[in-house]
Structure 1
Amino acid sequence: MDDPIPVEQLIAGAAQDAGGWLGALAVAQVATSADGTIVRWSNAAQELLGYAPPQVVGRHISELLHPGADRSLGRSLWETAATGRGVMGTVTAWHREGHPLELEVWACPVSGRRHGASAVLVFAADAHAARRIRGSSAVWDGLFARSPVGIAVLDTQLRFLQVNPALEEMNGLPESAHLGRRLAQLLPEVNSAEMEEAMREVLATGEPVLDRRRVGRTPADPEHDRVWSCSYVRVEDPGNRPIGVIASLLDITEQQRDHTEAEAGRRRLALLSEASVRIGASLELERTAQALADLAVPYLADAVTVDVLDVLARGDEPGLGLSAGSALRRLGKAPLGGSAVTDILAPLGRTLTFPATAPYTQVLADRQPYLIGRLDEESVAPAARHSPKPARLLTAGVHSFMMTPLVARDVVLGMATYYRTRPIGPFGSDDVTLAAELAARAAISIDNARLYHHEHETAVILQRSMLPQHITPPPGIEVAHRYLPASDVNEIGGDWYDVLALPDGKAALLIGDVMGHGIPAAAVMGRLSATVRALARLDLSPTALLLQLEAALADLAEPMLATFLYVVCDPASGRCTLTRAGHPPPAAVLPDGTVRLLTTPPGAPLGVGGIAFTTSEVTLPAGSILILYTDGLIEARGRDIDERLAELTRLLTEPQGSLDLLCDSLISHLVPASADDDIALLTARIGAVTPV
């Protein structure tokens, strides 16, 4: 008998011929001599059939077959292998524990070390497991070949071992171009470094990576970016050692585009919603223009300017037409600093003029957006004829540019200009639509501000024209007065005051406040003021006069209310008769410095109707000062009215100079900022101070 053949050597010589069994099944390896005697019995053989090596070495291999089965097939397979041909077949063996076991065997001759004698190397595996694996392999082969999902097998060095037709089509390269190469070498225009990092993570941890995005361009579609969803799974040998990675790829470009467009739509709606709040929050031209610029950066553009007609910024009417000499004033700009683009552009407040042929003028004249999707030397040439700035903007990285006019109620008000520098593609039709929507909202707010300021100025002129221009008090009374209109951000009201000479050397000191704002309030104030002057000449009693004023309000088409304070003073005696109709109480400063609030019955405002007015009398020492005011002097946001009255009283206790100084002191201390409401203030010194 030949020298025993080491099983390890036999396996090493025949492993390549064993094909897919090795590594996929528990395969028993058995070596026999030329006469069929078992000479080596592997551990896998012991695990498969239960016999330890001493129990089978030296026995004929046919003795391991099922005792009740036909052994001729097993002998025939072995004899065929012994004659020099490899064979495969199925036999029934007998397990050591006493039950049959169907085996699939593959036997092949192996040359011995001496005399050229042949041994037989037998591989055996559970037949049921082998059939299951062959079925799985067939399924895998079919899936690999026909799946629309791109599939690749890579080794531990992340080199391609196999790719399916779907991946060949995705990458635009045949399988032969993939084999032995890494993704970074094969497709440099995708995020290959990120993908390889994910595969290394899978090899290291064994945890699959799902839905990692590969983005970029391949030879299959070199002009467009595409997106793939990639998943990676580790492949292991029977010892759970990693031997490679299986990658699956699904092209999701269209789904991603749909998702991106839907997300962009949601963001656009959110931006427009925010624009409705922020752009419409002010009636100031500068704040509205700046709000538009701030909103558009960075979502829509990287730099934005907003220019409004200079005549509009000056408070004049814009007119119906535009000419080449029409000037614009820059009222909005974003970002305000730290940008190479905005550093080139004119600063806020600058007045700009453009020739008739310049694109800026054409935008205003045509009332249509102007778009240069891809900015280059040729596209900036028309504007470059008038200014070097377009070329400088191109050098600063501006690659896309658009302008939208600001038009509201068929009036051209200005324009907004958008610049893009980031590598996110040029402005497109959707961007033009969004910019036009933002411009439309801004234009409405700017026009509202224009109309408001026009009405505000009209109301101020009307208000001032109806206030007494020259007050000549009767002897024994010295007066000083102030009127402060509400600030530009607040509407003008209907405050007024007056001093009227009455029979017998008396005087009427009066102050009123029509509730409401704007031109209507100012007009009603003028009506009441004229009515009081007419009625006072008739020497009516205070209560009768107030009833006539109520009747005048009742004649109005729209109901109006007004507070009113009417004080009849006799400077000779210091006697004062006070009648209030819902107005704040007057204050009195006595010659000794004592301050009193004359808290007479408050009454109801004029226009309420059905309320009887009452009068109160008070006698003031000669030299006393009466202070009449409207609620704008003492009302303040977040402050209690009693606190403000106490503050007024404290200020009046300080040493007083002239009545003019007193008026200025009260306003500067009680209203240090722009007034939220109109303020009317009337002070009067009653009688002369009697020498001590």
Structure 2
Amino acid sequence: MSEPMEELVSGAARDAGGWMGALAVAQVATGADGVIVRWNRAAQELLGYTPHHVVGRHIADLLHPGADRGLGRSLWEAAASGRGVMGTVTAWHAEGHPIELEIWASPLPDRHEDTAAVMVFAADAHAARRIRGSSAVWDGLFARSPVGIAVLDTQLRFLRVNPALERMNGLSESAHVGRRLSQLLPEVNARDMEEAMRTVLESGQPVLDRRRSGRTPAAPHRDRVWSCSYVRVEDPAGRALGVIATLLDITDEQRAQTEAEAGRHRLALLSEASIRIGSSLELESTAQELADLAVPRLADAVTVDVLDSLARGDEPGPGLAAGVGLRRLGKAPLTGSPVITALAPLGRTLVFPAGAPYTQVLAGREPFLLARLDATAIAPLARHTSRPAKLLELGVHSFMMIPLVARDLVLGMATFYRTRPLGPFDSDDSALAAQLAARAAISIDNARLYHREHDTAVTLQRSMLPQHITPPPGIEVAHRYLPASDANEVGGDWYDVLHLPGGKAALLIGDVMGHGIAAAAVMGRLSASVRALARLDLDPQDILAQLEAALEDMTEPMLTTLLYAVVDPATGHCRLTRAGHPPPALINPDGEVRLLHVPPGTPLGVGGTRYTTTDHTFQPGSILVLYTDGLIESRTSDIDERLAELTDALTEPSPSLDAMCDSLLARLVPASADDDIALLIARTPPAKK
């Protein structure tokens, strides 16, 4: 052993009191305020206290009850502010007896504060005295410690390493001695470690938990991580002799921490997906939401393609294995990415042959992961398109394709690209992408079902409305039906004009208060019932009573509002009955507009109501306006305000009844109606000249 090495080792053993290797050494760490923050197993064995009993207490509280606590606090304060202290103290064992300890306390920089913490080593003083001065203790520490230990000189050349470090680095001690870390292990971040050791030599302040990562001859094909700590060793005059380095392999702990963090990341992304994906019942919006969510947390670019048949509103059909057309409905980021620019734009329909990977993924319903995109990997793909080669030029090094499958239907494909200098996509990334795609697929299928039900409800509704209204002679009519924008709101509004004996006409308008296909079906049955009852020339209140009975016979009865008017064009006489329906409006020939007073009644289906009929006589050329509540109800205004808007709109002159219908809808109905609307306008014969 060289002379500097002998001085360094013997000096370290002497300064440590000669007890470091052969004794149980308690390690106690305190914060800047003297409160214990770490208590190792050796400390528990030495003094009998578990960490639960001492962590959070001041270190001076462990002294003998009869000892001078002020002295203990002074020793700790000296250790916190100086270069360290040694001494003998009498502590109090957990079993209730004194124990004499030799201590060595050294200041350590607190990584979270500017103040100094303290590391205290302690051992049984009687045992320490028996072996003080023996260099065998130092050698024992090297030989038996599971922690890698190295001694380096002021030029950061290895002087000695223990067997544990030999095993970590896969090199013998003789291969270490005389060489620097950067010369010995170029595949770890050696220069960063040497910079940390130089800082220790210059400042005298230890460096704790500096991470070394990379590969060594011990494991040349696997990255590992070590926690390294460096302490300067000095001669009695305070001159630096070198550095003692300790290394602990924390690869498994680091991997577990990384996996836990990745798990939290995946859960957070899936949680956000449950909120963001499918916020609307639109194919384009759902596809774009998936793309936006995945960039940049999972991929650097994403495209989402849906079956072209589905995008056209058709049902997804068979034939995926024989080639399929996909329409691009989602793409992220929308700007600023050369990769995205090189890919097909939104709205483009892409057709793939049967043997292409896209078609195979759709047919097989399994993800396709190409972890490393290189010239060899793209060779099979180049038979179908030159796109992979272009993507490789733009820096794409990994990509995966995930089918969109919901309720056993293949709906499309999401493709994920990675360009940043991260690792390639792996099986965990593929599983996460599949979960995101599954959520998007359910939302896309919901949108498909929504549009199908919407179209079915509208078709059923329109089919049950009168297709060709021919009013009795002398009466002019115009009508409109406007379906709601939401499928759940389509269904229950209808109107009709019926011929009655004596040249009279029945004008009616109703609203089944349910929604969807069921409401449209009830509306159809009621409409047919009214037509049959009207032919019997019953009084309006009697017709409503019969409809009430018909609703009671239905398996799923629904409340219905109805306004029934019988007009005699020859005399202008009108009989009106309403069941919970909005009041009709009357426009006199001079332009005066008013709402007719007709007892409101209750909706059909409530039961127990006796309906009444109100008689009015209209002037020749008067206009009667019947409508459902969708025309006047609003989420932002009360009903009286909306009725005032209606009467105000009716004061505006119109060249025809059709123009009046269009004008009312344009003025009172927003672009996206919340409820369906039926409108029926009738004019009595003008005065004879």
Q: Sort the TM-score into its range (normalised by shorter chain).
A: 0.7 to 0.9
Decide which of 475, 478, 483 is 2:476's aligned counterpart: 478
**1:635 match: secondary structure:** coil
- Matched residue, 2:314: 316
Q: CA 1:229–1:612 in structure 2 vs 1: closer, same or farther (change >3 Å)? A: farther
Instruction: Provide, for residues 22-60 of structure 1, a one-character-per-residue CA deviation record: whole Å limited to 9, x for no partner.
Output: 99679xxxxxxxxxxxxxxxxxxxxxxxxxxxxxxxxxx
Instruction: Out of 289-298 and 134-143, give the one that drifted further.
Output: 134-143
- Matched residue, 1:341: 339
Instruction: Provide, for residues 530-557 of structure 1, a one-character-per-residue CA deviation record: whole Å limited to 9, x for no partner.
Output: 1111111111112211121122222221
Q: Distance in 1 between matches of 2:601 and 2:135?
A: 101
Please say if residues 234 and 242 of structure 2, whose CA atoms lie closer than 8 Å, have aligned partners that are also in contact.
yes
**1:280 match: secondary structure:** coil
Superposition pairs of residues 84-99 of structure 1, within 5 angstroms: none
Percent identity over paired residues: 76
Please say if residues 301 and 416 of structure 2, whose CA atoms lie closer than 8 Å, have aligned partners that are also in contact.
yes
| Larger-Rg structure | 1
- Matched residue, 1:540: 538
- Matched residue, 2:658: 660
Please say if residues 8 and 233 of structure 2, whose CA atoms lie closer than 8 Å, have aligned partners that are also in contact.
no
Please say if residues 490 and 677 of structure 1, whose CA atoms lie closer than 8 Å, have aligned partners that are also in contact.
no
1:205 CA displacement: 6.1
Please say if residues 494 and 517 of structure 1, whose CA atoms lie closer than 8 Å, have aligned partners that are also in contact.
yes
**1:626 match: secondary structure:** strand
1:394 CA displacement: 1.7
Superposition pairs of residues 32-71 of structure 1, within 5 angstroms: none
Decide which of 386, 389, 402 is 1:388's aligned counterpart: 386
- Matched residue, 1:217: 215
Supply the AA of the counterpart residue of 1:601.
P
Supply the AA of the counterpart residue of 1:357.
G
Q: How much is the aligned-residue C-alpha RMSD, in angstroms?
A: 3.4
Please say if residues 169 and 220 of structure 1, whose CA atoms lie closer than 8 Å, have aligned partners that are also in contact.
yes
- Matched residue, 2:228: 230
Instruction: Provide, for residues 215-270 of structure 1, a one-character-per-residue CA deviation record: whole Å limited to 9, x for no partner.
Output: 32233323222222233445556566766544332211112212222232233233
1:488 CA displacement: 5.7
Query: Is it true that 1:679 corresponds to 2:677 in the alignment?
Result: yes
| Structure 1 segments unaligned to the other structure (5+ residues) | 1-12, 27-126
Instruction: Out of 242-251 and 562-571, give the one that drifted further.
Output: 242-251
Q: Distance in 2 between matches of 1:183 and 1:648?
A: 88
Supply the AA of the counterpart residue of 1:557.
T
Q: CA 1:20–1:544 in structure 2 vs 1: closer, same or farther (change >3 Å)? A: same
Supply the AA of the counterpart residue of 2:673.
A
Q: Distance in 2 between matches of 1:23 and 1:239?
A: 16
1:490 CA displacement: 5.0
Decide which of 435, 440, 443 is 2:441's aligned counterpart: 443
Q: Distance in 1 between matches of 2:279 and 2:152?
A: 60
- Matched residue, 1:164: 162
Q: Distance in 1 between matches of 2:525 and 2:9?
A: 111
- Matched residue, 2:295: 297
**2:380 match: secondary structure:** helix
Instruction: Out of 341-350 and 439-448, give the one that drifted further.
Output: 439-448
Q: Distance in 2 between matches of 1:340 and 1:547?
A: 71
Please say if residues 577 and 616 of structure 1, whose CA atoms lie closer than 8 Å, have aligned partners that are also in contact.
yes
Q: CA 1:23–1:528 in structure 2 vs 1: closer, same or farther (change >3 Å)? A: closer
- Matched residue, 2:375: 377
- Matched residue, 1:596: 594
Q: CA 1:410–1:135 in structure 2 vs 1: closer, same or farther (change >3 Å)? A: same
- Matched residue, 2:640: 642
Instruction: Provide, for residues 649-671 of structure 1, a one-character-per-residue CA deviation record: whole Å limited to 9, x for no partner.
Output: 33223333322222112212222
Superposition pairs of residues 53-132 of structure 1, within 5 angstroms: none
Instruction: Provide, for residues 502-560 of structure 1, a one-character-per-residue CA deviation record: whole Å limited to 9, x for no partner.
Output: 23333222111112222211111111111111111111112211121122222221232
**1:487 match: secondary structure:** coil
Instruction: Out of 544-553 and 649-658, give the one that drifted further.
Output: 649-658
Q: CA 1:364–1:23 in structure 2 vs 1: closer, same or farther (change >3 Å)? A: closer
**2:288 match: secondary structure:** helix
Superposition pairs of residues 477-496 of structure 1, within 5 angstroms: 477-487=475-485, 490-496=488-494
Query: Is it true that 1:584 corresponds to 2:576 in the alignment?
Result: no
- Matched residue, 1:143: 141
1:130 CA displacement: 11
- Matched residue, 2:566: 568
Q: CA 1:320–1:299 in structure 2 vs 1: closer, same or farther (change >3 Å)? A: same
Q: Distance in 2 between matches of 1:653 and 1:542?
A: 29
Q: Distance in 2 between matches of 1:225 and 1:535?
A: 87
Decide which of 450, 453, 463 is 2:451's aligned counterpart: 453
Supply the AA of the counterpart residue of 2:213.
V
Please say if residues 514 and 560 of structure 1, whose CA atoms lie closer than 8 Å, have aligned partners that are also in contact.
yes
| Structure 2 segments unaligned to the other structure (5+ residues) | 17-124
- Matched residue, 1:515: 513
Q: CA 1:605–1:230 in structure 2 vs 1: closer, same or farther (change >3 Å)? A: farther
Instruction: Out of 622-631 and 510-519, give the one that drifted further.
Output: 622-631
Q: Distance in 2 between matches of 1:245 and 1:230?
A: 12
Supply the AA of the counterpart residue of 1:296.
A
Supply the AA of the counterpart residue of 1:440.
A
**1:311 match: secondary structure:** helix
- Matched residue, 1:288: 286
Instruction: Provide, for residues 562-611 of structure 1, a one-character-per-residue CA deviation record: whole Å limited to 9, x for no partner.
Output: 22222223334444333222222222333343332335332222112222
**1:227 match: secondary structure:** strand
Q: Distance in 1 between matches of 2:128 and 2:272?
A: 67
Decide which of 252, 263, 266 is 1:265's aligned counterpart: 263
Q: CA 1:630–1:136 in structure 2 vs 1: closer, same or farther (change >3 Å)? A: farther
Q: CA 1:208–1:526 in structure 2 vs 1: closer, same or farther (change >3 Å)? A: farther
Instruction: Out of 533-542 and 328-337, give the one that drifted further.
Output: 328-337
- Matched residue, 1:498: 496
Q: Distance in 1 between matches of 2:560 and 2:233?
A: 89
Query: Is it true that 1:531 corresponds to 2:545 in the alignment?
Result: no
**1:255 match: secondary structure:** helix
Supply the AA of the counterpart residue of 1:431.
D
1:690 CA displacement: 7.4
- Matched residue, 2:420: 422
- Matched residue, 1:256: 254
Q: CA 1:574–1:261 in structure 2 vs 1: closer, same or farther (change >3 Å)? A: same
Q: Distance in 2 between matches of 1:136 and 1:171?
A: 29
Instruction: Out of 206-215 and 535-544, give the one that drifted further.
Output: 206-215
Instruction: Provide, for residues 287-330 of structure 1, a one-character-per-residue CA deviation record: whole Å limited to 9, x for no partner.
Output: 22222222332333222222222112111122233353432211
Q: CA 1:23–1:583 in structure 2 vs 1: closer, same or farther (change >3 Å)? A: same
Query: Is it true that 1:332 corresponds to 2:334 in the alignment?
Result: no
TM-score by length of 2: 0.76
Number of residues of Structure 1 aligned to a counterpart in Structure 2: 580
Superposition pairs of residues 177-196 of structure 1, within 5 angstroms: 177-179=175-177, 182-196=180-194
Q: Distance in 1 between matches of 2:188 and 2:416?
A: 31
